[in-house]
Homo-oligomer: A and B are copies of this chain.
Amino acid sequence: MGIVRKTRSVDTILELFEDTDHAFSGVSLIERLRDQMNKTTVYRILDRLEDEGIIHSFQDQKGLTWYAKCQSCASGQHTDLHPHFQCRSCGRTSCLHVKITIPLIRNHQIEGAELLMTGLCDQCT
């Protein structure tokens, strides 16, 4: 059994992430769930889901935290290396399921990498 109890709040958040590569910012989730749960609860559930390997988080260029569903991560470690895309016009942010090549750097032991691509999505071009 995992650490995360399946409460009403957890279910509500999990439903949002289901079947989509769309990412949600912490702020947008707090706003969206304002009537259903406290912001502390939102952050704590996101933390727990990330610890369990169910979602992952990343930062955008403004320093905001975004969350999206994991495709193939295990509890405790996130192994699904993929880039994220953020549209500068509409702000929509999502996972891109393409392989990326991380350069080897002499004298550096690389453990992780995060690639954020920005531009215009198909809706906004």
Contacts and interface: CB of A to CB of B under 8 A. Distances in A.
A65 B109 CA distance: 23
Contact of A121 (B108, B119, B122): B108
Chain A, interface size: which category?
A: 35 or more
Contact of A105 (B64, B96, B102, B114): B96
Copies assembled: 2
B88 A107 contact: no
Interface string A42-83: 000000000000000011111111000000000000000001
Closest 5 CB pairs of A and B: A107-B122, A63-B63, A111-B119, A109-B120, A110-B119
Interface of A: 58-65, 83, 85, 88, 96, 98-103, 105, 107-122, 125
